[in-house]
Amino acid sequence: MGLQTATAALNDVQTHYCASGSGPAVVFVHGLAEDHRSWRRQQAEFADHRTYAYDVRGHGASTLGDANGTLAQLRDDLLAFLDEVSGPAVCVGFSLGGTVVLSAAAHRPDLVTGVIVLGTSSVVGRAAAEINLQRAAETGDAVLASLRADTAMMVSNSTVDVDEVVARRAESIGDGRGYANAATAMAGLRGNPLTPELAAIKCPVAVIGGEHDVLCPRKAADILLEALPQATYQEIPDAGHLMNVDNPEAVTAALRSALAAGRGPLEPS
């Protein structure tokens, strides 16, 4: 089944998404300043799954709604998507999206049957929180300048056309209000870490990190692995934070492996 686009009224948002393939359901959640297109390669290759990739509120073609700058609201958007569009599914999230997925899995184990997170943190330090709040406050040309600087730091593959990536990310955030909302939500992990909630996750969890990720280094993965002792870890070689840009072949292979290994609930220790 080819790529299909649609819009669903979920909570207070018109949520745009793309669906493809047939088989077990997989829902992809993108990172900050991205949209559903960041998963286009995986949707094309995973034809043996029914895949969905939606635009987080205020990103891509999804509306912003009454955004309140919290992870809980973004989590509830994913839960509404699972409840009303895809049905229970394995959820794959990158960075911001990974945090959303982990929160959803902790709150509604009946809807999240498996978790795969890439470049994801359950807590942020003071410097990261301050940067996110600074990004949320920026307007006009400052947004594009910061997006360019941040993107360059997130990429380690010298063959990547950074200008092209920046242009795509800038298009995904539109007027910037959804970007500011999501950045505020991520900053909130400083005072309200997700880590204590991870113990409530009962489904299989795969953690994927980039070898050269300076924004979400191995320490962040180790925090997740300590809180989720039955989780697995894979590392994407030759990749920074934007690992699906730096090394998409390895990301696709890692996701395929995680999907194959992550069927069924975890057995008790």
pLDDT at 267: 38
Q: Is 51 helix (H, G, I), strand (E, B) or coil?
A: strand
Contacts of 49 (CB under 8 A, 6+ apart): 21, 22, 23, 24, 25, 26, 259
pLDDT at 103: 98
| Residues 201 and 228 sit within 8 Å (Cβ to Cβ) | yes
CA angle 162, 149, 17 (to 5 degrees): 65
Average pLDDT over residues 46-67: 98
Q: Is 212 helix (H, G, I), strand (E, B) or coil?
A: coil
What does the alpha-carbon distance between residue 216 and residue 131 come to, in Å, rounded to a whole number?
14
Which among 43, 71, 37, 40 is positioned nearest to 55, based on CA atoms? 37
The domains found in the chain, sorted by start residue, are 4-261 (3.40.50.1820)
Percentage of the residues of the chain whose pLDDT score is greater than 90: 94
Which among 92, 97, 94, 122 is positioned nearest to 204, based on CA atoms? 92
| Residues 25 and 50 sit within 8 Å (Cβ to Cβ) | yes
State both tokens at 30.
């993108």
At 58-87, the pLDDT tens digits run 999 999 999 999 999 999 999 999 999 999
Neighbours of 196 (CB within 10 A): 12
At 173-210, the pLDDT tens digits run 999 999 999 999 999 999 999 999 999 999 999 999 99
State both tokens at 151.
């993107």
pLDDT at 246: 98
Phi–psi pair at 138, nearest 5 degrees:
-75, 150
What is the amino acid identity at position 68? Answer: N
* Predicted confidence (pLDDT) at residue 268 exceeds the cutoff of 50: no
Predicted TM-score (pTM) of the model is 0.96
* Predicted confidence (pLDDT) at residue 168 exceeds the cutoff of 60: yes
